[in-house]
A and B are shown apart, each in its own frame.
Chain A
């Protein structure tokens, strides 16, 4: 079945450090891929997405490239800020047999210290 595997956290960085959160997926065909972010006390919100191979999603300084050959969608940011502290979820969306749902990874908690 479809699944998403994220690197386990928590991840703790200093402000302005480089961030990578690894995400790999298992799916038949060509899923759409997403990164969602959950700030403390809030619901999830879409951070970025990519719908086909080699697409790069970007938003708020975050980037992720859809790599079909490695079935990966790693999240990167060149210089993190304290305000980036949150839980990050990788997800895929795939239509199969007429039904559809988003499948989420377990989340990676990021803490950025000043």
Chain B
């Protein structure tokens, strides 16, 4: 079956702009998590959604937001972009919320955002 699909794969924005990233989970998976990956900070948890509800949120400013739709697809939005937002944004899906299952997440290939 198809894996986790993230779009777009690459994008370039300028400071002050906003960006929306999309994630389609594996069919049947209802939990979607987002992570930011940078060389300096590694993988940092952004948020997790399950059944259209945000279950958990990482330590990021309010400029970072997300949502999940009834078909489990998820979007994350970053407003007023800063240079430091340049990163690989990874989406991961699982059948059940993290902690209730095996802890296995299925990751997409990521969306690489460059802020100029």
Contacts and interface: CB of A to CB of B under 8 A. Distances in A.
Interface stretch (A60-68, A78-86, A96-104): A96-104
A65 B104 CA distance: 18
A49 to B, nearest CB: 6
Contacts of A99: 55-56
Interface residues of B, number: 26
Interface string B51-85: 00001101000000000000000000000000000
Interface in B58-116: 58, 90, 92, 97-100, 102-110
The range of chain A's interface size is: 20 to 34
Interface of A: 32, 34, 41-46, 49, 51, 89, 91, 93-95, 99-107
Contact of A49 (B41, B43, B104, B109): B104
B33 interface: yes
Nearest to A4: B42
